[in-house]
Structures are given as C-alpha cells and as structure tokens.
A = this chain, B = another copy of it.
Amino acid sequence: MATTIKDVAREAKVSVASVSRALNGSGGVTAATERRVREVAARLRYVPHGAARSLITRRTHTIGALLPDLHGEFFSELIRGIDLEARARGLHLLVSSSHNGADDAAVALRAMQGRVDGIVILSSPGVDADFLRANLPEGLPSVLLNSDVQGGSAAVLNIDNVAGTCAMVRHLVGLGHADIAFVSGPKDNFDARQREAGFRAAMAKLAPKAPLRIVAGNFSESSGYLAGRELLAAKPRPQAVFAANDMMAVGCLQAFKEAGLAVPGDIALAGFDDIPIARYVTPPLSTVRVRIAELGKNAMDLLADLMDRPGVSAASVHTLGCDIVVRESCGAHRNGGATARTSKTTKTTKTRPTTHSSPR
C-alpha cells in the first residue's frame, strides 16, 4: 500500500489541497507550510500517483513511439534521439516496436489511446494514409517519420533521400564514373522508393548520356550479393555501383571480391545509411550518412510544438538533410599511393538541410 496524498496531509496537519499546492508550487501556500509539507513528503517517500494525476489533468507527460519490427542501428539511434529530447522536456517514452503488419500496428495504436499526449510514427508497409485516417485518434498530436502521406493532421518529417542520392551521384560522376548502376530497395519501402527516384533524377541531370541501370534488391545483404553478381555479368560492366543501402553494398562487395575484382580499382561502390559496419569492411565503404539520432530529436521537437498549441492543425512537411561520407570504396582516395590504412581520413559533405516547412 503506497503512501498517498492523504497520508502526507494527515501527517503535516493540512488538507490534501494544501499538499497538492505545496508540492506543485502552484502558490497560495505559505512558505512555512510548504516547507513542512515537503519535509513530510520526503520522509514518507511520497510520490504522486501518475494515473490519478493524469486522470484529472488530462496530461500523461508521455509520448508514444510506434515502430515496425526493425533491429539494428536505426532503431536504437532513433529511440535514443527521441528519448534524449523527451527527457529534456520532462516527458516519458512509451515504445511499441516490433509490430509487423497493419493489424498489429492498429491494436498498438489503439492501446496507446489515452496513455500518451502525442505520438511519433515511423511508417512501414501497411501504415499509409488510409491506415492513419482510420486508426489515428482525431485530436492526438502526431509526427510521421519517413512517410509520404501529405494531408492529414500530422506533421511529417523525412530524410532527404533525394538530395543524399543526388549528392552521391554527383560525387561519383565527378570522379569519372558516369556509368553508375543502382541497386534498389523493396518497393513497399518509402525510403527505397525515394532513393530510386532520386537516382533517376540525378542521373537524368548529371549523366544524361549514361545508360540507366537499375537492378532490384530488397535491402538485405543477400539481395545485394545477387545484384552484384548480376551486374558483373552485364555486358559493359558498370563503372560504379550505388546501392540503396549499406547492407546491399556489402553484399555487392562480397560478390566483387569473389569475382576477383578490385574495389575501387576495377569498380567503384557506394551505399546509403552509414551503418557502423560501413567503415570496417575492406575497403571502407563510401556512403550517405543519415543522422538518425538527430532525426529522432527533430521529431520530438516537432511533436512538442504540436502539443503546445492544441487544435491547430499544423500539418507540415519537414526534411532532414544528409551528408555524404567519402571513404575508399568509391575511388576518391585512389590517387596518392596506398589504398589501405587511411580508413580514418574521410571527407563528409553536407547537403543543405532543406527544412522546408509548408504549413497548410
């Protein structure tokens, strides 16, 4: 039986109202009694019952995070970014990861009803505009991550996949690799679609004469390996391969090594994400870095804004820019002698963070 506000009131010889006022610093209580109440509360180890408080306050001081069942760096970094910022604002974080499929997400969403003041949703296959219209409670402030739903009442925050892809293509073309093959990701993934679109656009602009080569992958290492083999068999071998994520690039690398090709000597290679593995493969992988923790922080900031002014349907679209980090796999370090041993010397180029906000 935990100690309640009544116990404190009795012990401090005041009413419960005064205890509440003293502890919440809402004023209307003399300094002496406030001190007495605080002391008694500390002695009794009183901590207010969260449920009771949020029942009357209509505030839970908790935000929810709805994530698909993904493991690895992205997940942890995102949570970390959100949690760090949430904690700075005195908010708690209720996570619901590890659901796959729309039905699963729907029950998770319903269950969060009334337990959170706002919600961050990382979109996944099945979680689209229709899903949200059907399942997202009306007044609940929400931020959509990596989503292409436009209208709605939620703010949307996306990685600038297009700019990132474009920057990498520009870099590769600048190195003389105009004939770039792209390994795409799963069609039902938002980032994958954007990256492919970005690649098409970049090639059209920067290397219009090069053939457009796109081979299908699904973000897995093995699909990258297969794609690598397929590309090796292509008649004129591409000068460079740009994979839509790092794991597929690693798969490609394996295929190239098996075929006895030197990277980047015979063929250049680049990925997307900058997962930790990228810097440890040989040669270290050039890639596009997305600052995931920052993505989480920004999402939390956006959500806090929405929570501050209720009722205002501040639907907006924001974008987080990404850097390209140049290691050895793309051939930029080829000149100047030894290829190895300089894995620490990377050059990063930032795409301008197009935080283009379009409230409607």
Task: Report which A residues bind B (CB closer than 8 A).
Answer: 2, 47-52, 54-55, 60, 62, 69, 71-73, 75-77, 79-80, 83-84, 87, 92-99, 108, 110-115, 137, 139, 250, 257-258, 276-277, 280-282, 293, 340-341
Contact = CB atoms under 8 A, between A and B. Distances in A.
Question: Nearest 10 CB-CB pairs, A to B?
Answer: A76-B76, A47-B113, A50-B115, A51-B55, A51-B54, A75-B76, A51-B51, A50-B114, A49-B114, A84-B98
Contact of A80 (B97, B113, B257): B97
19 contacts: A2-B139, A51-B55, A51-B115, A52-B55, A72-B73, A73-B73, A76-B76, A79-B95, A80-B97, A83-B97, A87-B98, A87-B99, A92-B112, A92-B115, A250-B280, A257-B340, A257-B341, A258-B341, A282-B282
Count this chain's copies in the assembly: 2
A137 B45 CA distance: 9
A95 B83 contact: yes
Contacts of A341: 257-258
A221 to B, nearest CB: 10
A79, A84, A99 pick with most chain B CB within 10 angstroms = A79
A264 B305 CA distance: 55
A21 to B, nearest CB: 20
Given A62-B94, A87-B98, A280-B277, A114 B48 contact: yes
Nearest to A52: B55
A108 B86 CA distance: 12
